[in-house]
Amino acid sequence: MTDHKPDRMRFTHFTSFAPAGPPGAMWNHPKARNFDYTNLDHWIKLAQALEKAKFDGIFWADVSSVHDVYQGSYATAVREAMQFPIGDPLMLTAALAASTKELGFAFSANVIQDHPYAFARRLSTLDHLTRGRIAWNIVTSFQPSAWKNLGHDTIGDHGARYEQAEEYVTVLYKLLEGSWEEDAVVRDLDRRVFADPQKVHAINHEGQYYRVPGIHTNEPSPQRVPFLFQAGTSGDGRAFSAKNAEGMFVYAHTPEGAKKVIDDMKSRLAAEGRRPSDMQFFVHLNFIVGSTEEEAQRKSNEADAYLSSEANITFSSSTMGTDLSAMDLDTPVGDFQTNALQGQFKALAEAAPDKAWTFREVVMSMTSSRIAGTPEQIADTIEAWQAAGVNGINVGSVTGPDDTYDFLDHVVPVLQERGLMQKEYAPGTLREKLFFGSESPSGPRVNERHPAASYRTSNVLAT
């Protein structure tokens, strides 16, 4: 493992295409405006502000259905707008393509929503329309309601979900990297040859979950495979990330906690034949900015009045796969096994190991953690995360875009002044931008150490 002088930090804005997303679901805060989420102008304004501030991207966390584990009902999620209703973030990405030039678009999309053949087409289309500015956060779905509404009897078990995800991305790699050779498209008007069929290959995929015999529907887009994020926290999730991801959302509540995950991941990357710098590590933090520490703290306390413990318990019940209404929330957590976000759950407890955390405390801390301070204090905090090996911050929002705009106006100039944040975009696709200045500078496509590269015709022929 190399220890290199840290380059700039990357910044994405974390949100959902919903009235309110975790954490907090404060759509009812006086300054919240995300309940206007169906209005495209709302998003254009936000995306253009992020681009003006040189944010690397905007990230939509996504679920395919409603959080209905709590009390066995969708009632609380509907009433409290807990990440619901929820639009399709791929559509929103497309809708923002023309209003921006440099901003990246990252979205979660789970592997049970679309057949990989259709999903590959969506990815290529979006990558063309945005000229290579998309990133996909690979998720298995932890929502039983999503599985059931999408035609499955029940949610797959954790290990099987990762097995299916592994085959899913393999199909995508074959389609996106293996089907069309680099020089297949010739657009030769005189000879009337749009593309050379000899250089377009059927993938002949036959696996346990998918059979895809044919060719990809799209000519190569700027990135081919979008920049790949993953947020797995379990052992299965980390193994999947080490193999496939180029960016990882690390759940940690302290820089020390993040460093533990990052160290583990760097070992895993090495075991996969990848370099430590082939992956960038992001942490999700929420900020409340004040001109003084007191002002920030006062704003933060005021925001607490709009927190709903029931909404947060609804979200946690869904991610944990356990109806928390059936439990005594004031009992200690112990070594409770969750359905998803196990690592997030544990990371919090690990952040204060001497404390006997109760379920209620864990849930509320997971969904309301935030850093309140002056721009300088916030920059200091970000430096501390950087020192732990973190490469980027997924900047959440407590009240909806209002505190995001505060961050852009007041914190970004300090970050740029300290060299913590870019002042101009690097050229090229999102992948080139994100790896710019790192020890793994990249072209528009995944590098040769990524498993998708093994399906390139040049590599297939060489083996």
**Least distance CB 338 / a second copy (angstroms):** 22
Stretch that binds a second copy, among 63-71, 270-278, 339-347, 429-437 (CB under 8 A): 63-71
Member of 31, 45, 115, 418 binding a second copy (CB under 8 A): 115
| Residue 128 vs 298, nearer CB to a second copy | 128
71 binds a second copy (CB under 8 A): no
Stretch that binds a second copy, among 118-126, 414-422, 430-438, 448-456 (CB under 8 A): 118-126
- Selection from 137, 171, 145, 139 nearest residue 158 by Cα: 139
Member of 69, 90, 388, 414 binding a second copy (CB under 8 A): 90
Member of 1, 52, 72, 85 binding a second copy (CB under 8 A): 85
Q: What pairs with residue 138 in β-bridges?
A: 109, 230
What are the C-alpha distances in Å from 268 to residues 181, 226, 241, 401? 31, 22, 9, 37
- Selection from 316, 307, 365, 369 nearest residue 342 by Cα: 316
Interface with a second copy (CB under 8 A), residue total 75
Q: Are 298 and 23 in contact (CB under 8 A)?
A: no
Site for a second copy in 196-255 (CB under 8 A): 196-197, 200, 202, 210-219, 221
Site for a second copy in 300-329 (CB under 8 A): 308
126 binds a second copy (CB under 8 A): yes
- Selection from 63, 5, 12 nearest residue 434 by Cα: 12
**Least distance CB 87 / a second copy (angstroms):** 4
Member of 49, 94, 333, 371 binding a second copy (CB under 8 A): 94
| Residue 68 vs 361, nearer CB to a second copy | 68
- Selection from 2, 452, 456, 455 nearest residue 246 by Cα: 452
User: What is the secondary structure of 166-230 as a DSSP string?
Assistant: HHHHHHHHIIIIISB-TT-EEEETTTTEEE-GGGB----EE-SS-EE-S--SSPPPSSSSPEEEE
Binding mask 146-185 vs a second copy (x if CB under 8 A, - otherwise)?
--xxxx----------------------------------
Stretch that binds a second copy, among 28-36, 281-289, 439-447, 454-462 (CB under 8 A): 28-36
What are the C-alpha distances in Å from 50 to residues 55, 287, 424? 5, 16, 12
Q: How far apart are CA 40 and CA 25, in angstroms?
A: 20
